[in-house]
Amino acid sequence: MHEGRYPRNALFLLFAKDSWNRPGYILNYTEKLRDRKLVNLASQLKGPTLVRVDINLPFQNGVIASDAMRMKVYANIAELYASYVPLVMFGHQGRKGDEDFCSMKPHYKLLLKLTDKVEIDFVEYQDIFTAATQKNIKELRPGNILLLDNVRYFDHEMKFDPLTSPYIKWFKGVIQTCVNDAIPAWHRDNSSLMCLPSIAPTYIGIRSSFELRKLEEVKNSTMSKALITGGAKLQKISDLKKIFDAGVDGFTGGLVGQLVARANGYDLGETNNNYLARRFSPEEFEDAKMVLKMKVKHPIDFTVVSNGTKESVELKDLPKSKGQIVDIGDATVDSYARDLQAHEIRIRAGPLGIYEKGYDNGIELTKRIVGDGLYFLGGDTSQEVIEGKLEDHIESAGGNILVSGGAALHYLADGNFPSVDEILKRPIELSH
């Protein structure tokens, strides 16, 4: 490099400044991961390859969603990887004690339906760390996929220790390449993510690279931004604070919208007040009050079902209603759609109602704000799109449907990704 000249990436760093109107922000990962991305599968992937995916799927009526976008995305990617190398896949479904915690056997059956160019086998959790599974992996050939059971059956999953990790013990020397393609889980330091660089040379997967690039487009844009957050749980309050403090306008729906309205002093009716008291802790109510201080909007009416009848009820009239809230109301759709016209980037994170039972005001809002600059984040959010048969409309109109959810918001709040940092700690080991 000539003295006095900018280094190769200096201009990149200069123009990457001020992503959320905070001076000095520099892209965290794109440049650093340049040599860790998969760009030539035939030369980079070697031998049996272990790939961490995120096929944690929405749960509907006691079963996983059979048409979930995450499953389709990762089935296509797995089939592509397996055309070059034998593939061992693993991931999680729910958490112990939660309704959606279950074996990956249903996911295995979905993989069989969604792929036709590979042979797939399944290993139940009690058989993963065995000599027989090691032998099976060694005998795999390109075109073979071995899906391992839910990693959250194991207590060690939630706390990574490289000295005792059974993944490292059993797979090091057997696996020749690893791929971290689980961007929806990147905000966590779970063992199945953190272990990969200790097993073999590790790359960032192609879906994760794509979504990371899309998230950085949003981060670095100087356009006006809005976040519509819904679902059944409040995103980490520190992440929301960073996003909203940076000038992003906030709108809420789903249980989160009810929580924020309740924290604002509104009486939502005995049925809904009691449900929220059971569903959220006192600390979460305090977090909701903090969200209000960030000038985040909550619904001005809700769709309520009482005695089989559905109607939109204004906040002031909810104390007289004995029904259950199932969706945002019609007036809220009108209000949100009108206000969101002012924002060139509109981020949807979490369903706004019980879409799986046909309550579709979240879908109606989506239809009104569809177009360039619309980003959908997460498994349940994308499932709402699928239920509304809007997937093709959104993508054809220039919108983006990403499978990353909480991890995406964490990154938009300038959060780091522990498992990606773990990869970056290691010397580059190109598999040439």
Q: What is the pLDDT of residue 305?
A: 95
* Residues 179, 14: Cα–Cα separation, whole Å: 31
Burial zone of 364 (CB within 10 Å; 0-12 exposed, 13-18 middle, 19+ buried): middle
Closest CA to 313 of 337, 322, 355, 289: 322
The mean-pLDDT minimum among 134-143, 147-156, 230-239, 340-349 falls in: 230-239
Is residue 151 scored above 70 in pLDDT? yes
Helix (H, G, I), strand (E, B) or coil at 221: coil
Q: What percent of the chain is modeled with pLDDT above 90?
A: 80
Start-to-end C-alpha separation, the chain: 27
Q: What is the pLDDT of residue 23?
A: 39
Q: What is the pLDDT of residue 331?
A: 98
Closest CA to 125 of 107, 108, 103: 103
Strand partners, 227: 250, 347
* Residues 340, 329: Cα–Cα separation, whole Å: 16
Q: What is the pLDDT of residues 3-32, one digit of tens each?
A: 333 333 333 333 333 444 443 344 578 888
Is residue 416 scored above 60 in pLDDT? yes
Q: What is the pLDDT of residue 181?
A: 98
* Residue found under tokens 């992440």: 239
Is residue 400 scored above 80 in pLDDT? yes
Note whether 70 and 403 are within 8 A (CB): yes
Q: Averaged over 385-405, what is the pLDDT? A: 92
* Residues 76, 207: Cα–Cα separation, whole Å: 10
* Residues 419, 424: Cα–Cα separation, whole Å: 9
- String of b and e for 199-221 (b: at least 16 CB within 10 Å)? bbbbbbbbbbbbbbebbbebbbe
* Residues 230, 302: Cα–Cα separation, whole Å: 13
Closest CA to 39 of 213, 173, 187: 213
Q: Averaged over 372-395, what is the pLDDT? A: 91
pLDDT band at 194 (very low <50, low <70, confident <90, very high): very high
Question: What single-letter DSSP state applies at residue 67?
Answer: T
Q: What is the pLDDT of residues 310-368, one digit of tens each?
A: 999 999 999 998 899 999 999 999 999 999 999 999 999 999 999 988 899 999 999 99
Domains assigned to the chain: 40-204 (3.40.50.1260), 212-412 (3.40.50.1260)
Q: What is the pLDDT of residue 341?
A: 94
Q: Averaged over 169-178, what is the pLDDT? A: 96
Closest CA to 29 of 400, 374, 328, 414: 414
- Torsion, Cα of 160, 165, 168, 170 (10° steps): -150
Q: What is the pLDDT of residue 12?
A: 35
Q: What is the pLDDT of residue 36?
A: 94
pLDDT band at 379 (very low <50, low <70, confident <90, very high): confident
Note whether 75 and 54 are within 8 A (CB): no
Q: What is the pLDDT of residue 201?
A: 96
Note whether 172 and 142 are within 8 A (CB): no
User: How many other C-beta atoms are found inside a 10 Å radius of the C-beta of residue 3?
Assistant: 4
Q: What is the pLDDT of residue 27?
A: 52
* Residues 404, 183: Cα–Cα separation, whole Å: 6
Helix (H, G, I), strand (E, B) or coil at 51: strand
Q: What is the pLDDT of residue 234?
A: 87
Q: Averaged over 181-201, what is the pLDDT? A: 96
Question: What single-letter DSSP state applies at residue 357?
Answer: G
Q: What is the pLDDT of residue 295?
A: 85
Q: What is the pLDDT of residues 227-278, one digit of tens each?
A: 999 998 888 898 999 999 989 999 999 999 999 999 999 999 999 999 999 9
Take residue 413 and report the two structure tokens written for it.
Answer: 């709040």
| Summary mean pLDDT of the chain | 90
- Cβ-Cβ contacts under 8 Å for 126 (sequence gap 6 or more): none
Q: Averaged over 399-421, what is the pLDDT? A: 94
Q: DSSP string of 389-408?
A: T-HHHHHHTT-EEES--HHH
